[in-house]
Amino acid sequence: MSAKPAERRANLRITRRFSAAGVDPFSTVEWEWRTALISDVHGGVVFEQHDVEAPKNWSQLATNVVASKYFHGRIGTPERENSVRQLIGRVVATLRGWAADARLFATTDDLSAFADELTYALLHQMVAFNSPVWFNVGIHDKPQASACFINSVEDSLQSILELAKTEALLFKYGSGTGTNLSPLRGSNEPLSGGGTASGPVSFMRGFDAFAGVVKSGGKTRRAAKMVLLDVDHPDILPFIRCKAEEEKKAWALIDAGYDGSIDGEAYGSVFFQNSNNSVRVTDAFMRAVEQGKTWTTHRRTDGAVAGTHDARDLLFAMASAAHLCGDPGVQFDTTINTWHTCKSTGRINASNPCSEFIFLDDTACNLASLNLMRFRGHDGGIDTDSIRHVVDLTITAQELIVDNAGYPTPAIGARSRDFRPLGLGYANLGALLMANGLAYDSPQGRGLAAAVTALICGEAYAQSARLAEQRGPFAGFAVNATAMREVVGMHRRAVDAITDAPESLVTAARSAWIDAVRLGNLHGYRNAQATVIAPTGTIGFMMDCDTTGVEPDIALVKYKKLVGGGVAKLVNGTVPLALASLGYGALAIGRIVAHIDACATIEGAADLAHEHLPVFDCAFKPEHGTRSIKPAGHLRMMAAVQPFVSGAISKTVNLPADATVDDVVDAYMTAWKLGLKAIAIYRDGAKRVQPLATRAEKPSAVATFETDVPPCNECGTAMVRSGSCFRCLNCGTVNGCS
């Protein structure tokens, strides 16, 4: 039995790996002064700040994003931040103060080492916290520091209105939220005072309107929210169809001449544009689909049967709606709750907007992501010791945030502190695989991805157990100890099933999980969850990542608008690394890159061996090429990494424009059989959002694939779809994810 927290002594130690005692970690980079400037498509200035201090090796885009999104204070006033060292220093100094107050470390030298090592990792773009940390930590006494929230709702008007209020507060400070509306009675169920209920879909209209006017983080980016409904709810069909039906209304308005941009009159006049919708399905439902059986829905008031449907018809309805507009997604309830660490406390009903944080109602999760390319050696090897070290630093920092953050409701604050879920993940997997000459859709690509994900998750749980030794396990651990250890054991056993991965990486992952199990058996765990795979929207720009989350690259060629006018064609910088890894010499690499520059595709390059083409496949088919990663390739990659993620994976499975509804059904069935927790699909060209310019005009910051990318609502540049988000490569604005 672990000792009580009051009897514990602080003896956490930090070994210096990157820094030296007495040496300012900010001195480890060369600094320069820049102007952070973002202009719109017409040359007008969207954002401008002179005399911005940034590391010389940070890109101009990273500088622009950090200055415009994260620097605190009004421009032109003394309190305005003007340096990356101020930004990182503000956050790390606050974390150091919290650690000192908690007396977490064994000595003041360990405390200094923690601050210096974390500063180095952040400065060198090895890791980044989620956006609310940069927005709020060091600014407010109790900063809202979590990107992801899950809220509950009860079947009462008071609870529904409280949910609307809570969501508005979350959007204000830059966070996203999700709620399962299944407790609400169906639209044909009686009210106690007479009449019939409005039903979830009706209330969704009100929630959508609030989300549309309360912009995320006080910015102009859209709020991020998720709405879920169980497949046995009486209103499941109206829920499945609601967003597709509104999409058709928007089309009619566009055809009538109304502005079809993402914030134009057409889409601004229809509902449900501010949320992602998902249906919760069980194994019983999916088996009914397989076997051609019926499925019953049940009233919320008394549990009576509300309706009987052909299960295949219901899944086909989901697929038809998603084929048309991308919604709803599907979450696999049985799988989610099988991997649930806190079964004795209650079920998992909902997720955050992008489906990576899946946990108990009324909880929050602060995220952070590693930049995998920063751990790649010149020979393509992975520095596993540095990964483990940065994981330890980051989990410790995230753990400090839990107690010192502010929360929008007492219930969310109490439950978040009682269960302490964290969301460590990564970005740049796609770039890492390509740089190492591995195809995203290949056994070797999946093997490396699985092993590195296993290493991060195993070390995260090991550090959580070390923190439990210091501070005690999370409050809900005792009643959930059996389930927690069962799930950790499931993760550990999955490591033995990894194939086609570098042996050194698998060995490191296995070592991390041995530590996680051993230490957890001794001390319990400080955190009920440790990892997710988030979309890494804005922080991906901050870390100069080429790819986001678990996604492959979107295209080998992108177009970037230049300050002062003009457009530059950018050939993916990972291509030369990949070619070198595959054994090509400098002259051949130069000719292949020149071919890509001229043709916007690697296909047809005379020097390239045909068997190497898959290494350069991207999410979307290039304008003048024929190849892209097939939907099954996306699903297989998700299945490879899911066993090593506490939560789930934020990822969109990309389908070509000519995909059929049956193709969507097949994707859903495959995802379920592969053991995924959630899936969202997007068919190229599904929505009619008008691009700012045609392909022939080469809109700035848009790759040569989708025809329906929306313009950025800050600078007007056409955005790119990356996972569950839209991203602007010009100004760094991210829409659709937290």
Q: Which of 342, 354, 457, 545 is catalytic?
A: 354
Class of residue 241 by CB neighbours under 10 A (exposed 0-12, middle 13-18, buried 19+): middle
Nearest to 233 by CA among 266, 280, 177, 268: 280
- Residue 587, φ and ψ in degrees, nearest 5: -65, -45
* Eight-state DSSP code of residue 297: E
How many secondary structure helices (H) and strands (E) does the chain include? 22, 21
C-alpha distances in Å from residue 81, one per residue of 59, 76, 78, 85, 193: 19, 10, 8, 9, 56
What residues contact residue 658 under an 8 Å CB cut-off, 6+ apart?
none
> In the structure encoding, which two tokens stand for residue 199, read together?
């039903």
Grouping H, G, I as helix, E, B as strand and the rest as coil, residue 322 is helix
β-strands 652-655, 678-683: how paired?
Answer: parallel
Q: Which of 151, 277, 352, 735 is catalytic?
A: 352
> In the structure encoding, which two tokens stand for residue 202, read together?
């009706």
What residues contact residue 585 under an 8 Å CB cut-off, 6+ apart?
none
Nearest-angstrom CA–CA distance, 475 and 466: 16
Nearest-angstrom CA–CA distance, 298 and 308: 9
Nearest to 668 by CA among 255, 159, 290: 290
* Eight-state DSSP code of residue 548: -
Q: Judge whether 354 counts as a catalytic residue.
A: yes
H/E stretch holding 229 reads: strand 225-230
Class of residue 685 by CB neighbours under 10 A (exposed 0-12, middle 13-18, buried 19+): middle
Grouping H, G, I as helix, E, B as strand and the rest as coil, residue 429 is helix
β-strands 225-230, 276-281: how paired?
Answer: parallel
Nearest-angstrom CA–CA distance, 523 and 547: 37
Nearest-angstrom CA–CA distance, 84 and 518: 40
Q: Judge whether 11 counts as a catalytic residue.
A: no
Encode 358-420 in three state secondary structure: EECCCEEEEEEEEEHHHHECCCCCECHHHHHHHHHHHHHHHHHHHHHCCCCCHHHHHHHHHHC
Asked whether the beta carbons of 688 and 250 are under 8 A apart, the reply is yes
Q: How many CB atoms lie within 10 A of CB 522?
A: 11
Q: Judge whether 53 counts as a catalytic residue.
A: no
- Helices 384-404 and 443-471, packing angle to 10 deg: 50
* Eight-state DSSP code of residue 643: G
Distance in Å from the first CA to the final CA of the chain:
39
Angle at 678 between CA 356 and CA 720, to 5 degrees: 65
Q: Which of 167, 356, 706, 714 is catalytic?
A: 356
Task: Tell me how far the alpha carbon of residue 398 is from its chain's centroid.
Answer: 16
Class of residue 153 by CB neighbours under 10 A (exposed 0-12, middle 13-18, buried 19+): buried
> In the structure encoding, which two tokens stand for residue 344, read together?
């004795």
Asked whether the beta carbons of 449 and 637 are under 8 A apart, the reply is yes
User: Amino acid identity, residue 147?
Assistant: A
Helices within 420-495 (DSSP H only): 429-435, 443-471, 477-495
Nearest-angstrom CA–CA distance, 460 and 397: 12
Name the residues annotated as catalytic. Answer: 352, 354, 356
